[in-house]
Amino acid sequence: MRITNGMLSRLLLADVDRTRQDLASISEQMASGRRIQRASDDPLGTGRVLELEEMLARTGQHRRNAGDARTWLDATDTALGQMTDLTQRARELALRGANSTFGQVERESIALEVDQLVDAVKAEGNASYAGRYLFGGTKTDQPPYLLGGTDDAYYGDAGTIDREVSAGVSVRLNVTGTDAVGSGPGGLLAALRKLASDLRAGDVGAVGGADLAAISGHLDTLIGQRALVGARTNRVDLAASRVDELELSLKKLQSETADADLAALAMGYSMRSSALQAALQAGAKMIQPTLMDFLD
């Protein structure tokens, strides 16, 4: 079979076209920094990249949830700390008021301070974070306590608020007002009201007995709630640390799967560019028109 210049031209042009396509593909990868430009470039790799992107989206949401949870719990701990200090002060006042040497003027002065403690506790019960009331249960859009009057009712609910901070790990964020200070006749607010009333009545036995015991019990409850919040905070921090580690691993896998090796691409581009120039030069010399070409 005779190899004609026309056949050589077609072979050369096909080779040149492939090389130019390779150069265009390499240029596209270098410009974008991505090895996979289209699903057809690497169907298996594309599927893996999509899977990794979904996993990264989930870890990103978990990271945001953990950040929100941490801030919520910190705000709750601060408010509980204030409630604890106020209740500790009430206990000190009960001890003072139980002193039988005090006159009614002194007890009235103590009762007035206890009255102030009631509103102060309710004000902490209305603490909020990002416009959401911390102690209202799931009723985060309304204050759980009314200030400035004698209405000590709790207007929140017993609902819980949870955040998923890592895969399969949810942490409760909220402490309800009932969890913190109780409600009704057995609650801290009622105990403070009774303490003030007994001080004004001069009932030293009740002040140093039932009143002091009730307030001490509520102090223990508040300390216990702060401990629970601390434990939840530790869980959130641990989960956040694991999410950060997972996110780094996923990003590394994503880079290994989808990102272009720029050094290798640059070398490949240089080699193909040189090969293209050589092919064009060789073709120009090799393919010369002859009489036989015109006879073809």
Instruction: Name the residue among 153, 155, 171 with its Cα closest to residue 76.
Output: 171
Per-residue pLDDT tens digits for 31-74: 555 655 555 556 666 667 678 788 889 999 999 999 999 999 99
The residue with greater pLDDT, 231 or 268, is 231
Per-residue pLDDT tens digits for 67-96: 999 999 999 999 999 999 999 999 999 999
Query: How confident is residue 208, by pLDDT bands cut at 50, 70 and 90?
Result: very high
Per-residue pLDDT tens digits for 146-196: 998 899 999 999 999 999 999 889 999 999 999 999 999 999 999 999 999
CA distance 280 to 65: 60
Q: What is the pLDDT of residue 56?
A: 87
Query: What is the amino acid identity at position 274?
Result: S
Query: How confident is residue 267, by pLDDT bands cut at 50, 70 and 90?
Result: low
Q: What is the mean pLDDT of the chain?
A: 84
Mean pLDDT, to the nearest integer, of 120-124? 98
Residue 20 has a CB neighbour count (10 Å cut-off) of 13
Mean pLDDT, to the nearest integer, of 8-23? 60
Query: Can you give the pTM of this predicted structure?
Result: 0.74
Under 8 Å CB-to-CB from 120, ≥6 apart: which residues?
Answer: 82, 86
Q: What is the pLDDT of residue 252?
A: 82
